[in-house]
Structure 1
Amino acid sequence: MSQPLSGIIPPLVTPLRDRDTLDCAGLERLIEHLIGGGVSGLFILGTTGEGPSLSYRLRRELIDRTCKQTAGRVPVLVGITDTSFTESVNLAKHSADAGATHVVTAPPYYFPAAPPEMQEYIQDLVAEMPLPMFLYNMPGLTKVSFEIDLVRRALDMPGVCGVKDSSCDMIYFHRLIEVAKQRADWSVLVGPEELTAEAVLLGGHGGINGGANLNPKLYVEMYQAAAAQDLKRTRELHAQVMQLAGSIYTVGRHKSAIIKGIKCGLSLLGICEDHMAEPFQRFREPERAMIRERLVKLGLIS
C-alpha cells in the first residue's frame, strides 16, 4: 500500500433473519445504501457486526456475499478477532480468497495477554496473513490494549497497515498519530463517532463509525469538512452526528442498545431486518416506537 486508507469506513451491522440466518436481501440493500452514501470502505465482522457471536459458517457466508456485492468498488475489511489463533488465520485466508482487501484483529478476549506475549502473538499472526492487517484497539471489550510500544514495533512489520482505536482515549490516539508518521502507508482510524471530527482535524485518517450505517452521507461530509480543515462546517456536521448518536444510542438500558438501535433504525428505513445474534434480542415495540419517533426528528423518515 502506497497511501493510507482514509475516510469513513462503516462497521456494517450483520443483517439477520434469525440467530444464524443471514438476511441476504437486506445485506445487499445495506451495502448499496452505504456505497451510495460515498463511504471509503466497508468493515464487516467487527463489534457493530456482532462478529464474535456469529457461527463460523455464517461469518464465511457474510464475507463471500459482501465481497461479491461490493465487486471491488470500495475496500472490504474483515474482522478476524478470535480466541483461537488458527481460526483467525483460517478466516483471513477465506477473506483473501473471497476478494477482501484487509483484515482487522483485536487482542484475543478471554485469556489476557501481557505485552511481551501480545507482541509475539502479533508477530506470529502477521507471518500467516495473506492481506494487510489493522490492529484494533478495543480495551473496553477485550480488556487488553495494544500498547504504544507494541504499535511502534509493529511499524517494522510490513504486514501491519495501521490501527483502529476505539479506546475513547484521545491522548493515546494522539500518540498513535505521532507513531504513524514514521510510515507513509499507515492509517490511524477512530471508532467512536463522537470523536471522529476532532481526530481527523488533528491528523487522523478517518472513522469506523456505527452511525454511518444509518446516514452515511452525513458522516462522509463531516470527514470531508474535517480533512479540509473547514472548522465551521465541521462543527455543524459534528453537531448533527452528536444528535444522531444521542437520539439512537440512548434507547434501551444496556450496552447492547447501540447495536440494537442501529439495527432497529435500519429496519424502520426498510433496509434490513433487525434480528440480533444471541445472547441479545432486538428491541420490542415500545423501544421501536421511540426509535421511529427519533428518526422522524432526525429527518431520516417521514
Structure 2
Amino acid sequence: MTSSARGNSNSMANRYPTPPRGLICPIVTPLKTDKSLDLRSLERLLRHVVRATDGILLCDVVWGEGPELPKRMRFDMVSSALEMIMGRVPVFVTVTGHTPRDTQLFMAEVESFADRMEYSGNLYWVDYPLYYHSNRELPQMYRKLMAETEIPWVLGNRPDLIKERKGPGRHHNIRTSVLKKIVQNPGIRGFIFIGNLKRAGNYLKAVRFRDDFTFYDGDEIVFLKNPGLGGLIAGGSNLIPNAWLEITRSSLNRYDSERQFHAHQESIWESGMMVHALYSLYKVAPPFYMKKILKAVGIIEDSQTVSPGREDISGWEEKLKDFLDTYDLGV
C-alpha cells in the first residue's frame, strides 16, 4: 500500500486522510496531433496550475477524458503527472472504467506505481460508479474494493454523463439510501456532486454523521450562485487558477478579514466576471474548447482530443479573441 495513504499512526484520520477543502483543478489530458500523450505540454500545464490550487484531479471523466483514453496512455498520464507533482499538492486520480474489473485493475496499477516510487503526497481515488454499475449492490462493491487499497475514495454523481452513456430509461443518480450505506465505510472520504439542490440536500443529510467528509460542487456556475462548504471542481482553473482560487477561498470564508475591504470585494467581482466569460466559451464541450483556449495562450501545443473533433460554434474564434483582449491572464 502507498505510504501516502498509510501515515505513521493507526488512527483512522491518518489511514484515510480527509480530502482538502478548496479548489480542485481537473486538468485536461494534453495530446499531440497523433493522439499520443504530450508530456512537455503536461509539464507546462501542471506548472501553471499547481501553484494556485488546493489539489489536482487527473483523468476526470469529462475534463480529462479518462474512461475514453487508451489504457496505457491513461496510466502514463497519471504516472508522469505524479513524477512531476512529487507530493506538492494532493492528487485525485479518476479510476472509473467501463467495467468494475477495469476500475479495479487501473486502481491496482496506479497504486503499485506509487508504491515503487515511494510517492510522498496524499492520493485519492475518484470514481463515478454509475458509469459502469447500477445502484444495486454498490455498497458491497466498495467493500470489496476497499479491501484491496488503503487509498481513500471520493465518489461522484454526474446524471448528465450517465444519461448520455446509458440512455434516458436508467437511474442517472446514486440513490440517497445507497449513498447512506456506502459512506458507512470510513474509506469513502468525499463526494463530487452535480445535480439539483434538492438532491444535494438529501445527499448532505446522508453524510452529515461524518465530520471527516468533503463535499465538492462539480458545477462551476452553480457554485458561483450557491457555494457549498467543501470545495469545487473547476475546469476553468486549467486557464485561470488564480481567479478561481480567489473565488473559492472567499466563498469558503478563508478571507474573512480581507472581505471587509472594498478592494478585495472589487477583485472578487472582477474574477467572477472573468470566470463567467470563460465558462461561456467552453460550456458546450469542455475539453474540446478548453484545449483550444490553452493552445491559443501557449500552455499546451495542440488541441487534440481523444474523441473526434467538432465544428466550432459560429463566431467562437472572435469571442475568444475578445476574451483574451479583455483580460490579462498573466500566462
Tell me if TM exceeds 0.5: yes
Compared CA separation, residues 284 and 181, structure 1 to 2 (3 A): closer
Q: Secondary structure at the match of 2:32?
A: strand
State the shift of 1:130 in Å. 4.2
Looking at structure 2, the residues matched to 103 and 80 of structure 1 have their Cα atoms a distance apart, in angstroms, of 6
State the shift of 1:147 in Å. 1.8
Calculate the TM-score normalised by the size of structure 1.
Answer: 0.86
Write the letter of the residue equivalent to 2:175. E
Identity fraction in percent: 24
Looking at structure 2, the residues matched to 198 and 176 of structure 1 have their Cα atoms a distance apart, in angstroms, of 19
Give the equivalent residue in structure 2 for 1:219: 244
Looking at structure 2, the residues matched to 3 and 48 of structure 1 have their Cα atoms a distance apart, in angstroms, of 24
Give the equivalent residue in structure 2 for 1:237: 268
Q: Gaps (5+ residues) in structure 1?
A: none
2:194 matches 1:166:
yes
Aligned residues: 293
Which structure: larger Rg? 2
1:36-85 deviation per Cα after TM superposition (whole angstroms, max 9, x unaligned): 22x11100111111112210010000001110000000111111112211
2:176 matches 1:148:
yes
- 5 Å-filtered alignment, 1:232-271, equals 237=268, 240-241=271-272, 243-245=274-276, 247-251=277-281, 255-256=284-285, 258-271=286-299
Give the equivalent residue in structure 2 for 1:82: 97
Looking at structure 1, the residues matched to 74 and 34 of structure 2 have their Cα atoms a distance apart, in angstroms, of 12
Report the aligned-residue RMSD: 2.8
State the shift of 1:131 in Å. 1.6
Q: Gaps (5+ residues) in structure 2?
A: 1-15, 115-121, 164-171
2:206 matches 1:179:
yes
Contact 1:20 1:55 (8 Å CA) reproduced: no
Contact 1:180 1:186 (8 Å CA) reproduced: yes
Give the equivalent residue in structure 2 for 1:136: 156
Give the equivalent residue in structure 2 for 1:291: 320
State the shift of 1:12 in Å. 0.5
Calculate the TM-score normalised by the size of structure 2.
Answer: 0.79
User: Given the alignment, which residue of 116, 119, 123 partners 1:101?
Assistant: 123
Looking at structure 2, the residues matched to 149 and 199 of structure 1 have their Cα atoms a distance apart, in angstroms, of 25
Write the letter of the residue equivalent to 1:85. P
State the shift of 1:289 in Å. 4.4
2:307 matches 1:278:
yes
2:232 matches 1:207:
yes
